[in-house]
Amino acid sequence: MKGAADAPPQIRAALRSEAWNLTSENGVDLAAENTFFDAGDIESVAGRDMEMRSYDEHYELEFDSPVYISFDIDALDPAFAPGVSHREPGGLSTRQAIDLIRRTKGEIVGADIVEFNPRMDPLHITATVCAKLFKEIAAKMLSR
């Protein structure tokens, strides 16, 4: 099993708020700039952030190595995806998310969509958006 030190660089997109006082049990600053973590790992992984206030609709995500997409559905604005536990206004529109997926260049080897909370989605709006994003990612994977 690879550790975080072996992981490829990661990008977090559509950030809208700062993380404060996030420290692990081992004293590692989990909110340190350009630091990311694999689930189950506490070792940092190289990466970079793209905040919504500096979002560029022409930004292309290009990767030379295989890519795994973990799409946090709460990156979308609550107007487009209300079915999340922690709503934060100012996020991506559904169209911006689809365009970001379509502009990703590289071999996508897997993906997941996380942070969906069905209890907060009585009209199934977010479930429909998750299905659409899954379909877009799958189409991108099959197009190579």
pLDDT digits (tens, 9 = 90+) for 94-132: 999 999 899 888 898 888 999 999 999 999 999 999 999
- Give the model's pLDDT for residue 43: 43
Owner of token pair 């559904």:
94
d(CA 59, CA 86): 26
Return the structure tokens found at 28.
């590692």
Domain ranges of the chain: 4-142
pLDDT tens, position by position, 78-98: 999 999 998 988 888 999 999
Statement: residue 64 has pLDDT above 70:
yes
Gyration radius of the chain over CA positions = 16
- Give the model's pLDDT for residue 80: 96
pLDDT tens, position by position, 9-48: 555 555 555 544 455 555 555 555 444 444 444 444 455 5
Q: Which helix (H) or strand (E) holds 97?
A: helix 94-102
Kindly report whether the global pTM for this prediction surpasses the value 0.75. Answer: no
- Give the model's pLDDT for residue 73: 93
* CATH architecture under which domain 4-142 falls: 3-Layer(aba) Sandwich (3.40)
Residues, the chain: 144
Max distance between CA atoms of the chain, in angstroms, equals 43
- Give the model's pLDDT for residue 32: 53
Q: Which residues lie closer than 8 Å to 102 by C-beta, 6 or more apart?
A: 136, 140
